[in-house]
Each structure stands twice: as C-alpha cells, then as structure tokens.
Amino acid sequence: MAANYNEKLLLNYVPVYVMLPLGVVNVENVFVDPETLETQLKRLKEEAGIDGVMVDVWWGIIESKGPKQYDWTAYKTLFQLIARLGLKIQAIMSFHQCGGNVGDVVTIPIPKWVREVGESDPDIYYTNRRGTRDIEYLSLGVDNLPLFAGRTPVQMYSDYMSSFKENMLELLEAGTIVDIEVGLGPAGELRYPSYPQSQGWVFPGIGEFQCYDKYLKKEFKEAAAKAGHPEWDLPEDVGEYNDKPEKTGFFRTNGTYVSEEGKFFLTWYSSKLIFHGDQIIGEANKIFAGLKVNLAAKVSGIHWLYNHHSHAAELTAGYYNLYERDGYRPIARMLSKHYGTLNFTCLEMKDTDNTAEAMSAPQELVQMVLSRSWKEGIEVAGENALETYGTKGYNQILLNARPNGVNHNGKPKLRMYGFTYLRLSDTVFQENNFELFKRFVRKMHADQDYCGDAEKYGHEIVPLKTPNSHLTMEDISDAAQPSGAFKWDSETDMKVDG
C-alpha cells in the first residue's frame, strides 16, 4: 500500500529507533537467535512503522582475542539482517563494560588483554578517594599514555573505529548505518563513573568524584601549580556515595564547592571530561569524514539533586552545572565543532516520579539540556532512561520531541532529531503494550505513515565535515555563561490517549 503523507505535517516527523537487547551478539561473539530477532523486527517495522534500531558494538567482544585482532563476523550477519528488513542502524562504539549499571542483564567486560595491564597498574581505571577502582572504562588520565602493547587508549579507540569503517563500508555507503555514537565513558556516556551500583551506590546518593588514580592526581597537582597554587590538593571533604549533600563539607551550603579552590577543582574536573570527549570524537570525525553519517555522543540525565543548590550528583559525574553556571552548553559547543548530535536521556520522566528527598527535576533538566544544545546550533536526540510502557511516559516523550507541538504549516520551531526506545524485549509485544507502542510511534511521526526518505522530513544526511576550529578553554568558559531555556507547552498536542 502506498504511503499517505501531508507534506507540511511530514516536516514534524521524529524518527523512532529501538535499542536491541544488550546480548544480541553474546560475549563469545555469536549472533545468538537470528530467527527470533527477525520475527520481532519484522513486526516492529510492518506493524509499528519504526525507522531503525540502535545496537551496542562491544569493544570487549570484537577485539577480545588480542591487539588489533578484530572479528566482525557476527556483527556483519546482524547488520545484514537489519538492512534486509529495510531498517536504519545507529551503531554505538561501546568502549565500556556491560554490567554494573541500571538494566545491565549481561556481562561483557572490556578486552582481557587490556584488563591484564590493570592487574599490574590498577591506576588505568577511574578511582575514588578511598582507592576503589571502577573497571567499566579506562580513566581519561591514561588517554594518551602508550600502556597497551605500545598503543594509547585514544589510538585503540581510533584503530577500532577505522576497522569498523573498513568492515562496514558497504552499509555506510548504502545509507543503512546513519549514526555512529561514540562511547566516551561508563554506560557509553560522557561522564565519570560517579554512581556505580557495583560499589553500593543507591539512588539518590551524591556519588563520588573519580579522579584519585595516580595519573589524574599528578595532572591536577601540575594544573594547580601552574595556577599559582601548588598547595591545592584533590578534595577530601566530599563524603561517600550515598551521603546527603548537607552532610559533606564540599556540597553543604557555602561549602568548599563555592570556594576559590573548589571552583578551580570543578573547572579542571569537568573540562578534562569535555576535552576527553573532544579528542575521541575528533578521531571519529577524521575516520568517518566524507561519509553520509552522523556522529553522536550520549550525555547522562542526572536529574536527582538537581533542585539542591550544589547539584552534587551532576558535579561528581563531571557536569559542572549550577544555577549561575551552565554545565551542558560547553558539551554542546564541543560537539558543534565536530558537527555532532547530543543524545540525552530520561525523556520519559516527570518531576513527580520520585520522592521529595531525591530533589529530582527531570523536566527542567531535559528542557535545559535540549535548549542549550539548540542554542549551539546542534541536533538533539534522546531516549528513555527506564523501561516505559504506559501513556504517561509516552506523552512526556512526545512533549519533549516537539516542545511547542506540531506546526500544521511546516517545520516546527523545536523538534528533536530522533528518539531511541529502550529496549527491545518480549514485554513490548504483550498485547496492550504493543498497541500503545504502535500509537506512540504514529504520534512521533506526527500522525503520518512511515517515511523511509529522511530528506522528506528535513533530515537529509550530508557528508560529514571536518572541524574548522579547535575547542579551547575560552570556548568552555564562554559556553558556561547561563542562558535561559525555551518555553515548553504544558502537555503534548499528540497524546497517545488523545
């Protein structure tokens, strides 16, 4: 049956992707159950009209045998199946461990030969004040140190992405792979592992700074000395994972975080993270330049303690965001240099979802991050943080996807670039769930039929350009000046139950 479109309404279309199960290719590098996946994807495509899928491409699987011994066989089979069904692919370069975070049902560590270096030098990992190591992802303190059979982490990530490009070139050139999301930290997010469940963190704890490995310690001391303060050290009064901010010297009212020393530390800690992202996305940009593909990076939705004056949970994660300082626009500025997209999370959440003690404000956080990104002139995509099957979550996503609703005369002023639904499971296909999901996709598509030609809804992918300028500390401090958020409607005009 021919698709039926209203050309003006089609410009309000927001494509919907579905995240594949974490273990779709297992730790032994086997594509486990192609028959079931094909059946499920056919239903999602034919009955719900989804646009594509997102999939983790695990470093710990592909390069598990040894340095530069890549095996793409299982992923090639998976990607060819997806392509055959006419679905687009968002591929995540997953340089982190799977296991230890919310929703992790399988364990896929980083490559064994990388972890073996950590046995004699545990400082390659992010480390908290008490010396506990987090083995999910390599510390950015070793980004440029050739500790891994002569290569640095940045070189390892770069070589991996080059090998991905060589092996998937046909699918990249055919326009099947539309996004490369570059993993930049734990859970694939640009952040420090400040709230690890594996170390006993529970919501809504403040988390802990993760810069006490010997490499970052040394860098901080050098930076402090250069600033004329050789006596400054990494903070000690920061509390533990599940403390309340007011119980710590650092985050309490008029605490260390507002002192000259505290501000210096937070600027250093957050900037290190942004430059880490800048360097690795810069490598991705060099590799994929000229291909019609988008680059993206994921930022974590740390909505708890947002209403506390210290924003403690954001600060420990590396987002230096306060009432008078913008922690997210500098990240958007960095991405804009590489023509990148910012992928945000917790789009389904409402302020009332959590208890008062969590001081949680996901709605304000989402509005702020999206607004700042749009002000930097970049595209924003997003996903839900927790499993979502009900009208409330879907309606909130729809509101965030088009904050001022549908424009019946053409392109809306504000529109997200895409949405990825977390995640494919049998639960999605339970009768009531699937009916509602189908309605949700239809509403994201602005009540239009599935459209396989992104140009028709204003999303033509152009060849990736290389940066025309480099990120500086001045860029970061300029982007950190506070600026308002755009105005959101109180509810979506495209409710799933409307």
Q: Is 56 annotated as a binding residue?
A: yes
Is position 345 annotated in a ligand binding site? yes
Is 256 within any annotated ligand binding site?
Answer: no
Distance between CA 88 and CA 51 in Å, rounded?
A: 6
- For 385, which DSSP code? S
Answer yes or no: are the C-beta atoms of 36 and 5 closer than 8 Å.
no
Q: Is 260 a catalytic residue?
A: no
In this structure, how many other beta carbons lie within 10 angstroms of the beta carbon of residue 468?
A: 7
* Per annotation, catalytic residue among 136, 283, 314, 383: 383
189 in catalytic set: yes
Strand partners, 340: 295
Which of the 8 DSSP states describes residue 64? -
- Has 276 been labeled as part of a binding site? no
96 is in an annotated binding site: yes
The reply, when asked if residue 309 is annotated as ligand binding, is no
Q: Which residues contact 310 (CB under 8 A, 6 or more apart)?
A: 245, 250, 251, 252, 255, 257, 322
Single-letter amino acid code for the residue at 446: A
List of E strands, 260-385: 294-298, 340-344, 380-383
Please tell me whether 303 is known to bind a ligand: yes
Q: Which amino acid is at 310?
A: S
d(CA 358, CA 439): 32
C-alpha distances in Å from residue 419, one per residue of 90, 281, 415, 435, 488 = 11, 21, 11, 19, 18
Give the residue from 315, 322, 300 showing the smallest Cα distance to 205: 315
Query: Hey, what are 157's tokens?
Result: 């990530």
The identity of residue 83, as a single letter, is A
- Indicate the SS3 state at residue 54: strand
What's the burial of 144, exposed, middle or buried (CB within 10 Å: 0-12/13-18/19+)? exposed
Whole-Å CA distances, 186 to 100, 163, 476: 10, 22, 23
Catalytic residue from among 63, 136, 181, 189: 189
The answer on whether 385 is annotated among ligand-binding residues is yes
Please tell me whether 308 is known to bind a ligand. Answer: no
Q: Extract the tokens encoding 179.
A: 């996004």
189 DSSP β-pair partners: 298
The span from the CA of 395 to the CA of 494, in Å, is 8
Instruction: Cite the annotated binding site by residue number.
Output: 56, 96, 104, 298, 303, 345, 384-385, 423
Instruction: Cite the annotated binding site for substrate by residue number.
Output: 56, 96, 104, 298, 303, 345, 384-385, 423
Catalytic positions are 189, 383
